[in-house]
Structure 1
Amino acid sequence: MTRSKFTSQGIKSKHTKKLKKQDYTVFSQKLGYTFKQPDLLQEALTHRSLGFPNNERLEFLGDSVLNCAVSTLLFKRFLLLPEGDLTRLRANFVNQDALHQLASALGIGELILLGDGERKSGGHQRPSILANAMEAIIGAIYLESGFEKVDQVIVALYDPLLKQLDPDVFGKDPKTLLQEYLQSRKVDLPEYSMLLTRGDAHAQIFHVECAIPEFAIRTSGEGTSRRRAEQEAARRAYKLAVVRH
């Protein structure tokens, strides 16, 4: 595999850790794009724990490219959605959770190049590291092949999610979904009550109940905060309400 000698900064890389040819080939197939400059991909997969050069500058570039591409994609796909809903959808497509899912599907965690300490602490599974690497890869494609090509790659990556997307509910938290559902049926809002807390003060688990008396629905949820517990209880109540009513 031919390698370019320089990084995107025009600096010759001194890193000894390299991608294996087989890994590069498999990843290219999953990504739907083959780098003409394999060292550019390597840079995109190099975490700052290995020193400089690393993927932070490409991440910066990829963040802007991704926002533009996703904005264009949503603008063309959902012709009747107002600006506020488009903004909500975009935020949920480009946030850490979404990028982490894309990175995991591509197997980036197995390829990310980390310093020994970062790898031993589980850095190859850390959502923030994988999400940042995903943005860096997008930045690298843009740098090498321009916006039209990276846009094609981004559309292909997001297409499965878009096909199943309901823009009316995507990105809304469970409590909001439940509230809107009940209001549309002129039913009183749910009642949330604390059932119990357990664990030490610095690591408490909260148990909360969500009740909808008119639908005879009572669900419980737990979480590391009262808010998270309420969201889980609301999620379960919403699923029951939709099925039963």
Structure 2
Amino acid sequence: MSLRARDKEQLEQRLGYAFNNPALLARALTHSSAVAPSRRTAESYQRLEFLGDRVLGLVVAHMLSDRLPRSNEGELSRTLNSLVRKETCARVARKLGLGPFLHLGESEARTGGADKDAILGDVCEAVIGAIYADGGLDPAFTFVTRMFGDNLDVTQARRADAKTALQEWAQGKGLEPPNYLETDRSGPDHAPIFTISVSVRGYEPITASGASKKLAEHLAAEKFLLREDVWSTGL
């Protein structure tokens, strides 16, 4: 597959990067369904997705290490995982408007493949891989920082006061405030573990456990805010 000159120009403007080898960008946008089985490894985005996933993890890890100097390894890992999820990558792909440029097989196109989270998430990683393969780490670093930096700010805001963030989200949706319910208590009296369920009308309840009710409520709210259906139209 090759890109039309007009499409290439539009995409490079959105990506903030001009390709020396446009074939890499074309391949990053090519789903395996659009390629004959014998050529999928060489001509679809699969290998670039693999590369981009690793580059994304490296750049985000570096970004978190710089921005969150007081966070321990566990906190950094949790934030990293929330940023490199397929859903986050899919939101970035939508923000860039990559869907209409995808090369899909007839069946995949007919079933809405250009707007599927799984495909858009893969394509976002493939584009990162293509930028890295074409220009090295510097332009890939710049792209990831620009496109994922705002997501880091939102993620940290959620973690800072998850209960307040969840309540504000519910208010914004015109819903009643979240309801927190203790569903279990285990462990010895001197070191109890509390399990809290948080529910909002119209959404499945989420549970979390902690060494205090307050901590368990915070963790439950945090988990609720990370669910796909809460922020699917947000970032």
Out of 123, 134, 155, the residue aligned to residue 113 of structure 2 is 123
TM-fit CA distance, 1:171: 9.9
Task: Look up the equivalent residue of 1:43 and give its one-letter code.
Answer: R
TM-fit CA distance, 1:86: 0.8
Out of 14, 27, 36, the residue aligned to residue 43 of structure 1 is 27
Q: Aligned residue for 2:47?
A: 57
Q: Aligned residue for 1:215?
A: none
How many Å separate the matches in 2 of 1:90 and 1:171?
Answer: 16
Q: Aligned residue for 1:70?
A: 60
How many Å separate the matches in 2 of 1:75 and 1:148?
Answer: 17
TM-fit CA distance, 1:157: 1.3
TM-fit CA distance, 1:50: 1.1
Larger radius of gyration: 1
Q: Aligned residue for 2:11?
A: 27
How many Å separate the matches in 2 of 1:220 and 1:192?
Answer: 15
CA contact (8 A) 1:45 1:133 kept: yes
- List per-residue Cα deviations over 1:54-75 (Å, max 9, x = no partner): 0001101111111001000110
TM-fit CA distance, 1:126: 0.4
Q: Aligned residue for 1:186?
A: none
Q: Aligned residue for 2:91?
A: 101
Structure 1 residues 101, 166: CA separation in 2 closer, same or farther (over 3 Å shift)? closer
Out of 97, 104, 119, the residue aligned to residue 114 of structure 1 is 104
Q: TM-score normalized by structure 2?
A: 0.68
- Where do residues 180-199 of structure 1 align in structure 2 (5 Å cutoff)? 190-191=180-181
CA contact (8 A) 1:88 1:171 kept: no
Structure 1 residues 67, 23: CA separation in 2 closer, same or farther (over 3 Å shift)? same
How many Å separate the matches in 2 of 1:32 and 1:170?
Answer: 30
TM-fit CA distance, 1:191: 2.2
How many Å separate the matches in 2 of 1:128 and 1:46?
Answer: 14
Q: Aligned residue for 1:148?
A: 138
How many Å separate the matches in 2 of 1:84 and 1:168?
Answer: 18
How many Å separate the matches in 1 of 2:145 and 2:73?
Answer: 20
Percent identity (aligned): 30
Structure number having the greater helix percentage: 2
Out of 149, 158, 180, the residue aligned to residue 169 of structure 1 is 158
TM-fit CA distance, 1:166: 5.9
Equivalent residues, number: 182
What is the Cα-based RMSD across aligned positions, in Å?
A: 3.2
How many Å separate the matches in 2 of 1:127 and 1:172?
Answer: 28
Structure 1 residues 191, 138: CA separation in 2 closer, same or farther (over 3 Å shift)? same
Deviates more, 1:165-174 or 1:55-64: 165-174
SS in 2 for 1:131: helix
SS in 2 for 1:222: coil
SS in 1 for 2:71: coil
CA contact (8 A) 1:89 1:171 kept: no
Report 1 or 2 for greater relative contact order, CA contacts < 8 Å, sequence distance ≥ 6: 2
How many Å separate the matches in 2 of 1:39 and 1:74?
Answer: 32
SS in 1 for 2:202: strand
Task: Look up the equivalent residue of 1:46 and give its one-letter code.
Answer: T
- List per-residue Cα deviations over 1:128-172 (Å, max 9, x = no partner): 10110110111111111111221111111123334x446363499
Structure 1 residues 58, 46: CA separation in 2 closer, same or farther (over 3 Å shift)? same
